[in-house]
Structure 1
Amino acid sequence: MTEQLASPPPAARVPLWRHRDFALFWGGQTAGELGIRVSGVALPLIAADTLGAGVLQVSLLTSLAWLPYLLLSLPAGLLVDRVNPRRLMVGCDLGRAALMLAVPVAALLGHLTLPLLYAVVGLSGALTVLFTVAYKTVLPRLVAPEQLVAGNARLSVSQDAAQLVGPTVGGALTGLVGGARTVVGTALTFVVSAVTLLLVRLPAQAEPAASARVPARAALTEGLGFVRRHPILLRILACVTTSNFFAVATQSLEVVYLVRELDASPAVVGAVFSLGAVGGLVTGALADRISRRIGSARVIWVAMAVPGPLYLLVPLARPGWGLLLYAVGLAAFSANAVLFNIAILSYRQRVTPPELLGRVTAAFLWICFGAVPLGALFGGTLGSGWGLRPALVVCALGTWSAALWVVCSPLRRMRDLPIDDQAGTRSWER
């Protein structure tokens, strides 16, 4: 049984660059993200090159990685609000490390198969759901409220730095030593993440969470109810869900598209993904400054709407130097995603009551990530039936259309988001 999130202690109000526990949390998150990015290239390459999987079979890997968000997010939110989140995260890291090691062991024994890859990806995805829900509730306990945007920006920069380096490393190592051996490195990054989490000192919590006194069936839906009554969060959720559906449809096709349509080698595939991460890396570093200049409300719809036309560069890419078009399209989406996610995550952390944060986070993940396996299957089916380029055009337009949810909302008439009460509902209830 966990306790209500307490206010960060005075030590948490020091500048983030001098904050020991935030630095450890940040470092572990960076290591874990690097492992995820490396395996995100290595496993599809194993399926496509080593095992000769088709377009739909490779897209199924993406679908299985995200399916646990649809099945487990709501129970995960309730669990996170009732147990020690750090212990849960450490267990998830160690479990993911063990699963990744199963791939090289199976290859060594001559038993590496697609069903085994599906099992590893699916079970790792289940642990990732638990880890992600817990991870998104920890930062408000480590830093002061006014440091949330800066803290989330730094964590986002790590994600994009890992995305910048990870695919290149994953592609290069897969080309040099094979995908199975490359996956060993991802297991080590999860171990590093677990060790750093053990060293983080979380502030003591004050009293048993309200969720512990509510029947489990009712507690499961409390987060959904909070979001439904909050018009801004509800529109943001619709936007993220639409974007995720089409973005992952694109992701389910990209490795096969790059390898078979654009004649890219594994190393070049990794390099293209890394170049695509530059947009997010830049906007992540400048997110706090951009948000203050544009406005915390305005930046949400601007980030979603402005880069959209550049997504069409992905299906326009050609072999050779034409691969740069693909990288620019990815960079535009990366810039949008990072700036948008930092803004909405910081806002959600500030307006959600601490005892509900795990379940509100889970409600978001259940819906917006629950759409992801459907998007992956949609992309694979569309790519198999229409061809890769036409399917990618549909996905690009669909991703851009997500901006309509926030452009056609109260956010368009606002500069900054209101944060005058913690629950964030009084001013917005109708």
Structure 2
Amino acid sequence: MKKKAALLLTSTGISNLGDWIYFIPLNMMVYSMTGSAAAVAGLYMIRPLAGMMTSFWAGSLIDRYSQRNLMMGLDLIRAILVLLLLAAPSLPVIYALVFFICMADAFYDPAAAAYTVRLIPSQDRQVFNSYKSLAWSGSFILGPALAGLLFMTGRPEIAFFANALSFVLSALLLFRLPYLGSGEQTSQKRISLSVLAEDWRMVMGYMKSARYVMAVYLLFNGLMMMAAALDSQEVVFSREVLKLSDSAYGLLVSVSGVGLLIGSFVNRLAVKKLNPSLLIGCGGLMIAGGYLIYSLSSTFLWAAAGFFILAFFMAFANTGIWTFYQNHVPADIMGRVGSALGMVISLIQVIFIFGIGFSSDLFPLRSVIFAGAGFMMILSSLLFIAVLKPSIRPLGLITKNTKA
């Protein structure tokens, strides 16, 4: 089991690393082609839009076919699409290719979650997720660093080849993992509109019967989507409000990376002593607190303190929510439930990013960032109450409530 878990972690980690390597050069390529910051911002809107377009049907395929095979195929498709970006003659073609890459990403993530539950026993998932958080944080730091080194060579296109290679390596590692079949015995059923409608009725029925699980999961992801919306204004806030130089802003981003990496290491060492309720509830509060410190900061040191705090506790919160989700959602419907939730989360992300961006044109940016951080404090407080208040439900019992 340890070998299988290590293969899965390595495969998904390499795939995630590749995403970080190519996206920064892609931003620079679009900016060099157009000279427009708005054109670059458009890249950040493509992911949630692609998620909404994909999620309403992807889950039906994920639960009826081999998740491992789907993940392998998606890795190879993404490798081809990334290489095609190098030959893209215009901005619309780049947007179209990125849209298809993001569609594959939206397909891949719930497939990986469903396969993980089928491969990793429930008693091992929290430890597995702590390693996953560590791998994720490593990709967050190493990916941009490698992209920067590739830029220094004067050959940024190498980043695209490196990303394509990472997807191919990921697929090869997945091939060494066991074929676990499909999630359903009804995998022979052809996908049609009537099947999709039937699946959605089933998903809605499950969501109604699992309101507590849905509330916790959506509160947490609402918190993360507001964080993403605030991040979309991070460069402008750092330069226009905090008056940071490019090098100081780069150092600020590095501080968050170090915080995430240290948090992941501490989380890995302490994970067996912490239950998911503590990880989710306290982690969410501290993430929101970090953003609040950042929104009120007037110097580099205070901004860095906020970044370090929110990044440090991100590792704990992610481990908690991944374990919570895996232990509550039945494996046979995880693809459909995950895709449905992904569509809702993508919609929330679009609304939050648009709302923060629009508000920034009407009101002082510090006020907008502070209001967003305040909203995060409200969401995190509700999340804390939901996961820790015994009269609602003792989340510490989730390890006994495994349907997978």
Are positions 1:198 and 2:175 aligned together? yes
Change (3 A) 1:23 1:79: same
Number of the residue aligned with 1:253: 233
Percent pairwise identity? 21
The DSSP-based 3-state class of the residue aligned with 1:177 is coil
Q: Give, in angstroms, the shift of residue 123 of structure 1.
A: 1.5
Structure 1 runs (4+) greater than 6 angstroms displaced: none
Change (3 A) 1:27 1:173: same
Change (3 A) 1:253 1:191: farther
Maintained 8 Å contact 2:289/2:310: no
Change (3 A) 1:40 1:154: same
Are positions 1:42 and 2:25 aligned together? yes
Q: Report matched runs for 1:24-423 at 5 Å.
A: 24-48=7-31, 51-54=34-37, 56-106=38-88, 111=89, 113-174=90-151, 176-177=153-154, 179-203=156-180, 208-209=185-186, 212=189, 215-255=195-235, 262-264=244-246, 272-287=252-267, 290-315=270-295, 323=300, 325-386=302-363, 388-409=365-386, 411-413=388-390, 414=394, 416-423=396-403
For the residues of structure 1 that align with 2:98 and 2:105, how far apart are their CA atoms?
10
Maintained 8 Å contact 1:63/1:374: no
Q: Which amino acid aligns with 1:167?
A: P
Maintained 8 Å contact 1:64/1:122: yes
Change (3 A) 1:332 1:53: farther
Q: Which amino acid aligns with 1:41?
A: I
For the residues of structure 2 that align with 1:50 and 1:272, how far apart are their CA atoms?
28
- In structure 2, list runs of 5 or more residues that go unmatched: none
Change (3 A) 1:263 1:233: same
Maintained 8 Å contact 1:153/1:342: yes
* Alignment coverage as a number of residue pairs: 396
Maintained 8 Å contact 1:73/1:363: yes
Q: Give, in angstroms, the shift of residue 179 of structure 1.
A: 4.7
Q: Give, in angstroms, the shift of residue 161 of structure 1.
A: 0.6
For the residues of structure 1 that align with 2:110 and 2:40, how far apart are their CA atoms?
27
Q: Give, in angstroms, the shift of residue 269 of structure 1.
A: 5.9
Q: What whole-Å deviation, never above 9, does each CA across 1:202-225 have from its counterpart, x for those lacking one? A: 345697148959933121242343
For the residues of structure 1 that align with 2:109 and 2:245, how far apart are their CA atoms?
35
Maintained 8 Å contact 1:167/1:273: no
Q: Give, in angstroms, the shift of residue 158 of structure 1.
A: 0.7
Q: Give, in angstroms, the shift of residue 166 of structure 1.
A: 1.3
For the residues of structure 2 that align with 1:393 and 1:269, how far apart are their CA atoms?
19
For the residues of structure 1 that align with 2:296 and 2:84, how far apart are their CA atoms?
38
Change (3 A) 1:171 1:337: same
For the residues of structure 2 that align with 1:278 and 1:372, how far apart are their CA atoms?
26
Change (3 A) 1:182 1:354: closer
For the residues of structure 2 that align with 1:360 and 1:188, how far apart are their CA atoms?
31
Q: Give, in angstroms, the shift of residue 136 of structure 1.
A: 0.7
Q: What whole-Å deviation, never above 9, does each CA across 1:392-420 have from its counterpart, x for those lacking one? A: 33333333332133123263334613344
Maintained 8 Å contact 1:313/1:329: yes
Q: Give, in angstroms, the shift of residue 344 of structure 1.
A: 2.1
For the residues of structure 1 that align with 2:151 and 2:367, how far apart are their CA atoms?
29
For the residues of structure 2 that align with 1:83 and 1:379, how far apart are their CA atoms?
39
- In structure 1, list runs of 5 or more residues that go unmatched: 1-11, 425-430
Q: Give, in angstroms, the shift of residue 233 of structure 1.
A: 0.9
For the residues of structure 1 that align with 2:213 and 2:386, how far apart are their CA atoms?
11
For the residues of structure 2 that align with 1:178 and 1:270, how far apart are their CA atoms?
21
Q: Which amino acid aligns with 1:241?
A: N
Change (3 A) 1:256 1:300: same
For the residues of structure 2 that align with 1:211 and 1:350, how far apart are their CA atoms?
27
Change (3 A) 1:194 1:384: farther
Change (3 A) 1:68 1:224: farther
Q: CA RMSD in A?
A: 3.1
Comparing 69-78 with 204-213, which one deviates more in the overlay?
Answer: 204-213
Q: What whole-Å deviation, never above 9, does each CA across 1:92-142 have from its counterpart, x for those lacking one? A: 112222222233334xxxx3x433332232221101011111011111222
Q: Which amino acid aligns with 2:25?
A: A
Q: Give, in angstroms, the shift of residue 172 of structure 1.
A: 4.2
Q: Give, in angstroms, the shift of residue 143 of structure 1.
A: 2.2
Q: Report matched runs for 1:4-19 at 5 Å.
A: 12=1, 16=2, 19=3
Change (3 A) 1:166 1:305: same
Q: Give, in angstroms, the shift of residue 365 of structure 1.
A: 1.7
Maintained 8 Å contact 1:304/1:403: yes
Change (3 A) 1:50 1:217: same
Change (3 A) 1:362 1:171: same
Q: Which amino acid aligns with 2:275?
A: G
For the residues of structure 1 that align with 2:313 and 2:233, how far apart are their CA atoms?
20
For the residues of structure 2 that align with 1:64 and 1:125, how far apart are their CA atoms?
7
For the residues of structure 2 that align with 1:340 and 1:262, how far apart are their CA atoms?
29
For the residues of structure 1 that align with 2:388 and 2:183, how far apart are their CA atoms?
35
Maintained 8 Å contact 2:213/2:328: no
Comparing 30-39 with 174-183, which one deviates more in the overlay?
Answer: 174-183
